[in-house]
Chains A and B, each alone.
Chain A
Amino acid sequence: MSQHILSVLVENKPSVLARISSLLARRGFNIHSMAVGPTADEGMSRMTIVVDAPEMEQVKKQLHKLVNVVRITELDPQTSLEREIMLIRVSAAPGKRGELLEIGTIFKATVIDVSTASMCFQVIGEPRKINDFVELVRPYGIVELVKSGRIAMGRDTKTRKLRAIG
């Protein structure tokens, strides 16, 4: 089954998150990740939902039936901007810290906590980059890992691109 990214604009109303997750569950669509937050318009929230489903027509149509769902955009993973934040605590005996810091530098990861036994990194980036980081530090021992879920938006293809940034 393939993963699809939906950017869903919803009215900022009570239970809207429950409505969406309940609907997806009821219709048998598997939610891979879901990130929600306010938008520039305070009456609206934006959700980025990553769904596993063979095809998206039904998912989108069923979501559209929810009264509080205002707009749904399916984002093409090839052309959209995707980011995720991960906090990851890795075992780091004093002798290993240097190696870990090196890996961190390559990934522009920030160390946000250090103890005698572990280091905690903050990694921001595309999901692939985050996964690569996880694989690289796995041999050291992952103590704890948390991800924000993906957020995404389409690239501005209407106005001429000045420069591809980040």
Chain B
Amino acid sequence: MSTMSGARALITALEHEGVEVVFGVPGGAILPAYDPILDSPIRHILARHEQGAGHMAEGYAWATGRVGVAMVTSGPAATNLVTPLADALVDSVPMVAITGQVATHAVGNDAFQEAYTTGITMPATKHNYYVTDPREIPDVVREAFHIAATGRPGPVLIDLPKDVLNGEMVWHKPAKLSLPGYRPTVDAHPRPIKDAIKLVEASERPVLYVGGGIIKAYAHRELLRFAEATRIPVVTTLMGRGAIPDDHPLALGMPGMHGNYTAVTAMQQADLLIAIGVRFDDRVTGNPATFAPGARIIHADVDPAEIGKVRVPDVPIVGDARKVLEELLSKWDGRDAPERREWLDTVAAWQRDYPLRYNQHPDGPIKPQYVVEELNRLAGSDTILVSGVGQHQMWASQYWKFTEPRKWINSGGLGTMGFAVPAAIGAKVGRPDEQVYAIDGDGCFQMTPQELITASAEGIPIKVAVFNNGAHGMVKQWQNLFYGGRLSAVDLGKDFPDYVKLADAMGCVGLRADTPEEVGPAIEKSLAIDDRPVVVQFVTDSEEMVFPMVPAGGSNDDIILSREDLP
């Protein structure tokens, strides 16, 4: 019987899973796996930092809906991967991470480049494996992909000691999955569906509160049909932007700390929230005790632990978002959509009276919101928009008109600065025919810019708009609002680095816009380039703040609409 190494078995198993690309960085313990990958059709993308590899895998997963794969060595490489894992866990991104480990006989001896990877990543993964026998590899890989992609998706890590990679085994097709403790509930129970329909019928001011679960479950069509059939307006959380087209009459946009007035207030005044694929995050609810006080709650999620964690629902539904919506639709079937004149008129009046607003002076500094709108106008809503974390992220989410799911990629739950550039690369690798544009802050950009070298070297022509406000703008905003304007450690300066030169040095085209009239042309120029990555620096107004705003832990009733309304 012919044998193969554990390393080859690993690569073979990845091929069986249909993996087309692995993002990684090699090193001592993972060396054995880097040899058979040379003979594999799997493309390897050499990231410049393991955090980059991890976020690339996430971006790939976000854009394609498939499992992203990162492969790195032991010790410092594995610890560098912890941030993307934690990010993927809280944002439910399907991902498999493969880490090398020192040989089994050296484990526990503080060997060179030994870190207790499974221990360190235990709370940062959905599940992890420490493999001690090469014969386990086919089954472990099968299980890892299954766990990563099903139920509430998430990251799974496989730690492979070097002697296990070098050991010989006879390849076998993975056995039937044996996971007695892992049986996600996908199909919703009929009873709560019936109860939910009763609440929907009885409600006068219902709101659909939907998030990332809709995107993950590909439930956007069912969502739209249900919203239209019941004529219920829809708020989309930061993770759920694109779940319903923003130009749809029932779309209210983003709720929460920086949500628009209508989305926030509609939830506050609702008598029913139909929450699907959301987790009542504190950035949405503000103080949970004052959140949507008059609303009864239907809460559907594939993760039962999310139901009742923050707010006890009247109707809990465990199930996949699409299945739940299909069931709701079939039970609703045939009924006429209620008029809901009064409620929809109220909502429309809020939209008219309290729109998002900013003021771009022709001679003033560039307003970041203006850049988002111009970018949206010129690049189009079919662009995949990736964002960093901070003010620019909120403006991107507020002002971009999302029309489809999986066109908005950002780090919501963990709020990971440095996410945008590598995630954009991963998205572009997964969707090479689509335009991928990242909006990044100057602070975020400076955390992972080296991945643009990866993009140049690998021919991945992403575009990055750097919003250079010379500051950790979001932190500065909080210091201005809550620390009496005492600014501490938020000044980045606008002069360094020279983004054009930096872009150039990394093999990208560097562009810049300093005035409002330069914004459009700079974007157009960037769009015309498709053979290299492009970095466009927009020197934006340092004083601009994100509004509306509900102060952390405050009541959503006390939403502050603009600087003029500050107490």
Tell me the A residues contacting B by CB distance below 8 Å: 10-11, 14-15, 18-19, 22-23, 26, 57-58, 61-62, 64-70
Seed contacts A23-B123, A58-B305; 19 additional CB < 8 Å A-B pairs: A10-B181, A15-B119, A15-B130, A18-B122, A22-B122, A22-B123, A62-B305, A64-B305, A65-B303, A65-B305, A66-B127, A66-B181, A67-B126, A67-B127, A67-B147, A67-B179, A67-B181, A70-B180, A70-B181
Closest Cβ–Cβ distance, residue A60 to chain B (whole Å): 9
What is the bound-complex CA distance between A138 and B81, given in angstroms?
A: 53
Flag if B119 contacts A18 (CB, 8 Å): yes
Flag if A61 contacts B119 (CB, 8 Å): no
Which residues in B have their C-beta under 8 angstroms from that of A65? 126, 303, 305
In the complex, B482 has a CB within 8 A of chain A: no
Of B118, B180, B304, which one neighbours A64 at CB under 8 angstroms? B304
What is the bound-complex CA distance between A64 and B306, given in angstroms?
A: 12
Residues of chain B in range 117-157 having any CB-CB distance to chain A below 8 Å:
118-119, 122-123, 126-127, 130, 147
Which residues in A have their C-beta under 8 angstroms from that of B179? 67
Can you list 11 pairs linking A and B with CB atoms under 8 Å apart?
A: A11-B181, A14-B130, A18-B122, A19-B122, A22-B122, A61-B305, A61-B307, A66-B127, A67-B127, A67-B179, A70-B181
Which residues in A have their C-beta under 8 angstroms from that of B308? 57-58
* Given the contacts A57-B308, A67-B147, A15 and B182 also touching, CB distance less than 8 Å: no
Flag if B305 contacts A67 (CB, 8 Å): no
What is the bound-complex CA distance between A88 and B118, given in angstroms?
A: 38
What is the bound-complex CA distance between A37 and B181, given in angstroms?
A: 18
Flag if A67 contacts B182 (CB, 8 Å): yes
In the complex, B309 has a CB within 8 A of chain A: yes
Closest 4 CB pairs of A and B: A61-B305, A70-B181, A67-B127, A67-B182
What is the bound-complex CA distance between A6 and B494, given in angstroms?
A: 57
Most interface-central of A18, A57, A62 (chain B CB within 10 A): A57
Which residues in B have their C-beta under 8 angstroms from that of A58? 305, 308-309
Flag if A69 contacts B181 (CB, 8 Å): yes
What is the bound-complex CA distance between A65 and B151, given in angstroms?
A: 10
Which residues in B have their C-beta under 8 angstroms from that of A15? 118-119, 122, 130
Residue of B nearest to A25 (CB): B123
Which residues in A have their C-beta under 8 angstroms from that of B118? 15
Size bracket, chain B contacts: 10 to 19
Which residues in B have their C-beta under 8 angstroms from that of A22? 122-123
Closest Cβ–Cβ distance, residue A54 to chain B (whole Å): 13
Which residues in B have their C-beta under 8 angstroms from that of A14? 130
Residue of A nearest to B312 (CB): A57
What is the bound-complex CA distance between A62 and B182, given in angstroms?
A: 13
What is the bound-complex CA distance between A10 and B119, given in angstroms?
A: 18
Which residues in A have their C-beta under 8 angstroms from that of B303? 65
Closest Cβ–Cβ distance, residue B208 to chain A (whole Å): 24
Which residues in A have their C-beta under 8 angstroms from that of B304? 61, 64
Closest Cβ–Cβ distance, residue B159 to chain A (whole Å): 11
Residue of A nearest to B130 (CB): A14
Which residues in A have their C-beta under 8 angstroms from that of B182? 67
Which residues in A have their C-beta under 8 angstroms from that of B147? 67
Residue of B nearest to A15 (CB): B118
Residue of B nearest to A16 (CB): B181
Closest Cβ–Cβ distance, residue B101 to chain A (whole Å): 13
Task: Mark B478-512 against chain A: 1 for CB-CB distance below 8 A, else 0.
Answer: 00000000000000000000000000000000000
Closest Cβ–Cβ distance, residue B139 to chain A (whole Å): 13
What is the bound-complex CA distance between A61 and B122, given in angstroms?
A: 17
Residue of B nearest to A68 (CB): B181
Residues of chain B in range 73-132 having any CB-CB distance to chain A below 8 Å:
118-119, 122-123, 126-127, 130
Which residues in B have their C-beta under 8 angstroms from that of A18? 119, 122
Task: Mark B154-190 against chain A: 1 for CB-CB distance below 8 A, else 0.
Answer: 0000000000000000000000000111100000000
What is the bound-complex CA distance between A123 and B70, given in angstroms?
A: 54
Closest Cβ–Cβ distance, residue A47 to chain B (whole Å): 13
What is the bound-complex CA distance between A14 and B130, given in angstroms?
A: 8
Which residues in B have their C-beta under 8 angstroms from that of A62? 305
Which residues in B have their C-beta under 8 angstroms from that of A64? 304-305
Closest Cβ–Cβ distance, residue A70 to chain B (whole Å): 4
Closest Cβ–Cβ distance, residue A76 to chain B (whole Å): 21
Residue of B nearest to A71 (CB): B181
Residue of B nearest to A19 (CB): B122
Residue of A nearest to B123 (CB): A26
What is the bound-complex CA distance between A157 and B337, given in angstroms?
A: 51
Which residues in B have their C-beta under 8 angstroms from that of A11? 180-181
What is the bound-complex CA distance between A15 and B305, given in angstroms?
A: 22
What is the bound-complex CA distance between A22 and B309, given in angstroms?
A: 19
What is the bound-complex CA distance between A66 and B127, given in angstroms?
A: 7
Which residues in A have their C-beta under 8 angstroms from that of B126? 65, 67
Task: Mark B408-419 against chain A: 1 for CB-CB distance below 8 A, else 0.
Answer: 000000000000
What is the bound-complex CA distance between A67 and B179, given in angstroms?
A: 7
Closest Cβ–Cβ distance, residue A44 to chain B (whole Å): 8
Task: Mark B244-270 against chain A: 1 for CB-CB distance below 8 A, else 0.
Answer: 000000000000000000000000000
Closest Cβ–Cβ distance, residue A96 to chain B (whole Å): 47
Which residues in B have their C-beta under 8 angstroms from that of A66? 127, 181
What is the bound-complex CA distance between A123 and B308, given in angstroms?
A: 42
Closest Cβ–Cβ distance, residue B108 to chain A (whole Å): 13
Residue of A nearest to B318 (CB): A61
Which residues in A have their C-beta under 8 angstroms from that of B123? 22-23, 26
Closest Cβ–Cβ distance, residue B412 to chain A (whole Å): 20
Which residues in B have their C-beta under 8 angstroms from that of A69? 181
Which residues in A have their C-beta under 8 angstroms from that of B307? 61
Residue of B nearest to A69 (CB): B181
Which residues in B have their C-beta under 8 angstroms from that of A68? 181
Closest Cβ–Cβ distance, residue B260 to chain A (whole Å): 32
Residue of A nearest to B156 (CB): A67
Residue of B nearest to A11 (CB): B181
Closest Cβ–Cβ distance, residue B210 to chain A (whole Å): 22
What is the bound-complex CA distance between A22 and B119, given in angstroms?
A: 9
